[in-house]
Amino acid sequence: MSYIPQILFIIISAVAIWFFSKKIMTIRRNILLGKDADYTDRTGDRWRNVFLLAFGQKKMFRNPLVATMHFFIYAGFIIINLEVLEIVIDGVFGTHRIFSKAGGVVYPYLIDAFEFLAVTVLAGCVIFLIRRNIVKVKRLASPDLNGWPRSDANYILITEIVLMTLFLTMNAADTVLQQRGYGHYGENVTGNFLFSSMLHPLLGGLSNSALVGVERTCWWLHILGIFAFLNYIPFSKHLHILLAFPNAYYTRLQPMGKMNNMQSIQNEVLYAMQPELAPTNATPPDKFGAKDVTDLSWRNLLDAFSCTECGRCSAACPATITGKKLSPRKIMMATRDRAEDIGKNIDQNGEFKDDGKTLLHDYISVEELRACTTCNSCVQECPVSISPLEIILELRRSLIMEESNAPQEWNAMFSNVENNFAPWKFSPDDRDKWLQEMG
């Protein structure tokens, strides 16, 4: 009978890890729906981005107060998982605080550090809940977060508060039992911990059996909560906890204002200016721009799945600020939604069956795309350098070059560029006359 908790723990752990791995492989498949692209250059600069943007959260510190709170939540999430490792080992082998024997006098200081982080996570989550639901910071209360996205953020914050409370309560009950010398708790004395010891007055009046019940209940709920959180992450905006690192590595290294031009189009301009260079058997491209997520690159889709929906891009977007329909955050959310819908289509049918929908028009409207000024504010503000602009440009390219869908003013400019090599309705010879006049 004494092995039943261990067997139960191993089964629960295996099931949780299996479900998590399965979902992660599905997300990987959905990201790879995009076209192939090579991002293997300048590995030194890419690793630098990983350490500065993903680990160091460099861009977040433009707002030092919010960044500090976010950093403690992030650090707490990463570092407290070392304590989870001990819980997992204890659960598998039926031990109790196995690291305390190897850690010696260092062990209490490590737990103190974990508890400090737990308290900062608690405080940070409470403040973020207040910012979202009471203060209602504008970028966190905009309409593009209505429904699940807003609830998702609240669920995550509440879950982290519960997990940290369970962790501190577990430690408090454990150390009270140590002081009483009760059972195996008295055989493995670690001493009091910095913050959980403050809860002793609340637990001191409980009997030993009740304290064991509190400690075991918190232990099980804490680890089960972590397993549940692990499997919730792939369905939530907090997937960025995992994807921020590869996304920072594969981010574009070119200057933000540099657009990815189509070589075939550049050649057309060159051949118009130097017809003698035009090949006689040039093969036109199959498609101009992107109409659906499969026309984007896999890195564009990685951007979409890495988005934390923080809204800093939309808060900085001049189109959003002036009341236009465009929201860069919504562009990323819509791209992710379309990739997931195609993935579900493949899962149901074994292969993709045309559903009559595309990213362009059905998920992102023409009005949104035309509102973009290509100013790059969204890219500049994103903490992990996600680029909604790349997706917008590819969709606009499809609109104009595949559908000839552009405002009349744009069409006039395009015609002038094609015929006169400039946006103005003057021939090259007429444009040169001003030089003679100036002379």
Confidence of residue 431 (pLDDT cuts 50, 70, 90): low
Mean pLDDT rounded to a whole number for the chain: 86
The count of other CB atoms within 10 Å of the CB of residue 206 is 15
- The Cα–Cα gap between 127 and 336 comes to 29
- The Cα–Cα gap between 106 and 83 comes to 14
For 48-93, how does the pLDDT look when each residue is reduced to its tens digit (9 = 90+)? Answer: 988 888 877 778 777 777 777 777 777 776 666 677 888 888 888 8
Q: If we measure between CA atoms, which residue out of 150, 128, 125, 154 comes closest to residue 333?
A: 150
pLDDT of residue 435: 67
Q: Can you tell me the mean pLDDT for 180-204?
A: 88
> What pTM was computed for the model?
0.83
pLDDT of residue 272: 72
Which residues, listed in sequence order, are joined to residue 364 by a DSSP beta bridge? 360
End-to-end Cα distance, the chain: 102
For 133-159, how does the pLDDT look when each residue is reduced to its tens digit (9 = 90+)? Answer: 888 888 877 888 887 788 888 888 898
pLDDT of residue 146: 80
Helix pair 64-79, 81-93: axis angle to 10 deg: 20
The residue with tokens 């911990």 is: 193
For 361-393, how does the pLDDT look when each residue is reduced to its tens digit (9 = 90+)? Answer: 999 999 999 999 999 999 998 888 899 999 999
The count of other CB atoms within 10 Å of the CB of residue 32 is 13
Is the pLDDT reported for residue 2 higher than 90?
A: no
pLDDT of residue 1: 47
CB 331 within 8 A of CB 320: no
What backbone phi and psi angles, to 5 degrees, belong to 114? -65, -40
CB 405 within 8 A of CB 399: yes
For 280-311, how does the pLDDT look when each residue is reduced to its tens digit (9 = 90+)? Answer: 676 767 788 899 999 999 999 999 999 988 88
CB contact set of 347 (below 8 Å; sequence gap of 6+): 26
pLDDT of residue 327: 93
Give me the sign of the Cα torsion angle 207, 209, 210, 216.
positive
Q: At 216, which amino acid appears?
A: R
